[in-house]
Structure 1
Amino acid sequence: MNQVYGMYKKLTAKNDKAGRAAFSAAFALKAPYFRTVAPMIQTMEPHRGVVKIKKWWGVQNHIGTVHAIAIANGMECAMGLLAEATTPDDMRWIPKGITLDYVAKTPGDIECVAETTPEDWDKEPPFQVDVKVTGRLVKDGTVAVEGIIPIYVSAKKKK
């Protein structure tokens, strides 16, 4: 099991807010720009990562909605959770890009969801996995942003 995924399972085993908050803070340190959206990790498991972003002044744009790039950061955070939980221990991953469509205004908190299927990972390395991502309003489920983050998966170099 991946070290990051193991930490998630350990810290969230009791399903308490303190463990989830501790893991969220630690994961945000892994890629410091995640801290800009103060992500709250909801789910980390193979083929699924879910992050909540609270609407606060630090993620707002000039019209008072959650900024599209803040949502993109949350979506990439969710993708990273999925990739860490899904990538086999002898493999590594890195994002290759991001394609997003901004489809609705975001006046409140956002939930970012990243998903793949087991079939997406059944290829010989190196290969690309297209992670499907959405950013939805927590209040009513309206999809605000949808897209794909392709990740490149390859064998780890032998030491």
Structure 2
Amino acid sequence: MTARVGEELPTLRILITRTLIVSGAIASRDYQDVHHDAEAAKAKGSPDIFMNILTTNGLVGRYITDHFGPRARLRKVAIRLGAPNYPGDEMVLTGQVTAVAADGVAEISVTGRNALGKHVTGKVTVCLPPDRPQHVPRPGSDGEAR
């Protein structure tokens, strides 16, 4: 997979559901009540539960690997949160390649927006695999994709 400076990644739209917020918090072992208990979140000044940073980090990583493929390796994900993601929001991720080194390491600028504004901004450093055919026959196989 190759990348070139200035290349725009396709937009990814993610519906922010209550289930996504809660399951992301549980999966990342973030048991803060503001990520699963609407009443507790309201008592702390939030209109509802909201997504944690680790879930956002994972979604940014997914955005990059969905584009560059499963053999791309995330080297660094550096993000900053802005407007919260609440249930019912749609987060729209966009990205642009800002640097590509000769060794296949690329830097991608990423932004995620919702109705309130920028939810996340950041940079992702990814190691891109060298170009290879989609199907590589195993030794001793007849070369047929199965």
Is residue 51 from structure 1 mapped to residue 28 from structure 2 by the alignment? Answer: no
Take 1:134 and 1:50, find their aligned partners in 2: how far apart are those partners? 10
Give the percent of matched residue pairs that are identical in Structure 1 and Structure 2.
12
How much does 1:154 deviate? 4.7
Unpaired segments of 5 or more residues in structure 2? 22-34, 42-48, 140-146
More helix by share: 1
For 1:65 and 1:99, the matched residues in 2 are separated by 20
Whether the aligned pair in 1 keeps the contact of 2:79 and 2:121 (CA below 8 Å) is: yes
Q: In 2, Cα distance between the equivalents of 1:53 and 1:129?
A: 24
**In 1, distance between residues paired with 2:56 and 2:18?**
14
* Whole-angstrom distance in 2 between the partners of 1:59 and 1:129: 29
Q: Residues of 2 paired with 1:65 and 1:129: CA distance?
A: 31
* TM-score, length basis structure 1: 0.52
| Equivalent residues, number | 103
- The offset of 1:156, in angstroms, is 6.2
RMSD: 3.0
**Secondary structure of the residue that 2:72 maps to in structure 1?**
strand
Aligned to 2:113, which of 136, 142, 146? 136
Taking a change above 3 Å as real, the CA distance of residues 116 and 130 of structure 1, as seen in their structure-2 partners, is same
| Alpha-carbon distance between aligned partners in 2 of 1:72 and 1:115, rounded to the nearest angstrom | 17
Q: Give the equivalent residue in structure 1 for 2:74.
A: 95
Q: Which letter maps to 2:93? A: C
